[in-house]
Amino acid sequence: MRDVSGDQEAVVLDSERTVKWVAGPGAHEVLRPEIVLGFHGLCLVKPVDDEDWYMGSLYDDGSIDCWAAYGELYEALRGL
């Protein structure tokens, strides 16, 4: 994970947090995270019952707004 992303301080975060897929202004869907990976203010989220990985912003309150989706973890890590 750290080698592919280039972030040597990447960490696995607690999945008990609010995660939203932001589809557009005023439109969002709540995601149930299974895995959350943190990268200095950015996150990758693997939701329960979903094969995609979502990239988003990590806020000070621990919540995440996702704005990009990837079919594979490797692809998502390279997108960071």
- Residue 70 is predicted with a pLDDT of 97
CA distance 14 to 1: 17
CA distance 66 to 19: 7
Q: Give the DSSP letter of residue 15.
A: S
The tokens of 16 are what? 């008990």
- Residue 50 is predicted with a pLDDT of 93
Mean pLDDT by 10 residues, the chain (80 residues): 74 95 84 95 94 96 96 92
Distances (CA, A) of 75 to 22, 23, 28, 43: 20, 20, 23, 14
